[in-house]
Each structure stands twice: as structure tokens, then as C-alpha cells.
Amino acid sequence: MPQKAVFYHAGCSVCVDAEQRFAHALNPSAYKVEIVHLGQSPERIAEAAASGVKSVPAFVVDGQPYHINFGAALADLGGGA
Amino acid sequence: MPQKAVFYHAGCSVCVDAEQRFAHALNPSAYKVEIVHLGQSPERIAEAAASGVKSVPAFVVDGQPYHINFGAALADLGGGA
């Protein structure tokens, strides 16, 4: 059964690139990927922060954050945090 | 035809974790992944650096570096660079 992975992004160019490169390229037998745009869903910023996400784009898998390059700091996204 | 992706690492715990989470989970129809241990293959440090890799673990896809979290700085790996 695939594990859940959440890909947090904010629509920035670094984010979109990482989404295309990785979020859509993970093996569906390994991961079921949920893509969350924190600009459009600012109420989920707190959840991302609680998982240790410091910047986007980032994956959270099994409660652990995996930051891919640097698009934007979570603290700069504002919203619900 | 799958695109080539190179996963550079140095055996650190952050590297091994990222390798298990992502390097082995990419869809084989999307990427053919080569895994390079820069501690064991220091002659490839220069190649990684030329692609813009600053730290490991990192993927290089289509000439672009994708750093995943931070395990070790490339500059600290020594070897052939």
C-alpha cells in the first residue's frame, strides 16, 4: 500500500519545477502524493510548520520534512501560521 | 524513455534516508536513477560541483541540482575536487 506524501509549495518557480520533477514522478506504488498550495490553502501552513517544514517546496513523509532547494520561507507565506 | 537522474550522496544518515525515501521511489518510467557515493567515488565530486551541487544529498536532473535537506557540504567531502 503506498505511503502518504504531502508536497507543500507556494506556486513559486522553484516550487513548480520541483513539483514537475519529483512530485509527479514518484512511483504510485510507493507514494500517494497530496499537493498542497500554501498560498491557496494558508490554513495548512500551521500543519506544515508542525511537521518541521521551514521552506517550500518540501515533502513531508512519515512526519519528516524533506526540503528541496529553496523557493520561499514558510515564515514569509503569512496566512494562518 | 526515462530521463537520467543522478543521486549524489556521501553515506551520511540524511543521505541514506533521502536515498530510501526518494531515489528508490521515483517512477522507473520517469527516471533512470544513478546513485553516486562521493565518498567512494571522489573523482566525481568535480562533476557534481559543475552541475551546481553544493551539498549532499542531491539529485541532478537535466543539468539542474536539487538539494534535499542538508547532509554534508560538497566542500567538506574533499577528494578529487
Q: Residue B47: what pLDDT?
A: 97
Contacts of B61 (CB under 8 A, 6+ apart): A21, B3, B4, B5, B6, B31
Model pLDDT for residues A19-44, shown as the tens digit of each residue: 999 999 999 999 999 999 999 999 99
**pTM > 0.90: yes or no:** yes
Q: Residue A79: what pLDDT?
A: 57
Q: Largest Cα–Cα distance in chain A?
A: 36
Helix and strand numbers, DSSP H then E, in chain B? 2, 4
Q: Hey, of A3, A16, A24, A27, which one would you mutate to test binding to chain B, going by the most B CBs within 10 A of its CB?
A: A27
Q: Residue B81: what pLDDT?
A: 43
Contacts A–B by Cβ distance under 8 A: 45
pLDDT value at A81 more than 70: no
Residues of chain B with pLDDT under 50: 80-81
Q: Residue B78: what pLDDT?
A: 74
Q: Residue B1: what pLDDT?
A: 85
- A80 compared with A50, residue with greater pLDDT: A50
Q: Residue A80: what pLDDT?
A: 46
3-state SS assignment for residue A54? coil
Domains of chain B in sequence order:
3-72 (3.40.30.10)
CA distance A60 to A9: 11
Q: Residue B53: what pLDDT?
A: 97
Of A18, A25, A66, the CB nearest to B69: A66
Confidence of residue A1 (pLDDT cuts 50, 70, 90): confident
**Which residue does chain B place closest to A54, by CA atoms?**
B69
Quick one: cell of B77? 567531502
